Amino acid sequence: MSSLLSEIFLFLRGQSDHPIYHREAAGWSYVRAWRGLRRSCLPLMLLIMLSMSCCCGLIFLPTAFEDPTITPTVLFLMIPGVLWAGVLVGGEIINLLTGLLATALTATTISAEIEADTYALLRLTPIPPRQIVLAKLGAAFNQIRLPVITIMIARLVAIVGGILLLLFYVTVLGSELGGASSTPPTAPAIPLDVWIPVLVPNIIGIAGLVVAGLFWLVNYAFIKPLEDILLFLAVGLFASSLARTRSGGLFTAGGIRVAMWMVSYVLSQFVSSFFSLVTIPLALTAAGAPIIFDRLANLSPSLLMLGSAISVMAIVLVMGVLEFVVILLLLKITQNRAENLPFAGA
């Protein structure tokens, strides 16, 4: 397993001296439409972002013009929010399209070799089947590297920009809207000798929440897009090893994607139903509810915040590990399939 992991990372980083990786990364693609789209990939993604911003602006403008409290200055200050919404929605659309493209790219790699009777040439070389599979994986990842980076940047901008926009609207727009109607009373300043006894005992819990937030941000913006794309690439490779033609690989990959969506939906419903069945009767029980709420109320805020932070990090870590295990399992099965595949399409 350790050798498989090391070879995966090597091919994802790029192995230009490897013959199969060099052939795949040089521009060979069984999906002909991608050959033309790849040259205009960045303008296409920028067009998606701009289109989503325009759509969000068109949705917001009618409500803005009907509200008499929104002045032209406030309307102008809303433009960053419209752009932020476009980046958020556009990034998720690019994520969806990139996942579909990743599956399509790898779903035709091995099956096309068998269909064209060129898989025998690969097997007659001293290159082991594992490197054949991983070279095609790394080359396909290299072809969609720009969309993956765009997804990471869009998610980072969406989270960090959302926090900055919230602070901006609370300060600037709050004073603008408040001045248009009535001036709110100024809240008295809280002295430091009141804040310090509250913050110091809870410093560990606050630090835990900050660490959990940063952990979630790194996972959501950088690790999750990479894992999702690798999962879709592995699904395409697995489907390609099951088929004998390019169309068969695409059809099989589509079926696996639909089956994965159904399984994830059923599991999510099962988990939510399980927690509902466990918590609702306990909360409705006259003897059980006071005990739980009394124990939670007796805990210090620092412990509650620290427990919440640990729970968030544990859930994110477990979900990430499970997804990575599925990726390794699919690649391992594909490797075994590549070792036993016939040399020709017949």
Tens digits of residue pLDDT in 205-249 = 888 899 999 999 999 999 999 999 999 999 999 999 999 899 999
pLDDT at res. 309: 92
Residue 59 domain flag: yes
What is the separation, in whole angstroms, between the first and last Cα of the chain?
A: 33
Count up the domains in the chain and report the number. 1
pLDDT at site 318? 95
> What pLDDT does 120 receive?
86
Please, how many CA atoms are within 13 Å of residue 319, restricted to the half-sphere of its CB? 16
Say if 230 falls within a structural domain.
Answer: yes
Q: Is residue 345 part of a domain?
A: no
pLDDT at 286: 46
- Measured CA to CA, the distance from residue 174 to residue 190 in angstroms comes to 21
Whether residue 166 lies inside any domain: the answer is yes
Would residue 288 count as lying in a domain?
Answer: yes
Residue 33 belongs to some domain of the structure:
yes
Q: In the chain, which stretches have pLDDT less than 50?
A: 180-183, 286-288, 345-346
* Two tokens, residue 27: 């521009």
What domain range includes position 23? 2-184+191-340
- The answer as to whether 256 is a domain residue is yes
Q: What is the sign of the dihedral through the CA atoms of 18, 22, 28 and 29?
A: positive
Domain for residue 346, yes or no?
A: no
CA distance 104 to 254: 9
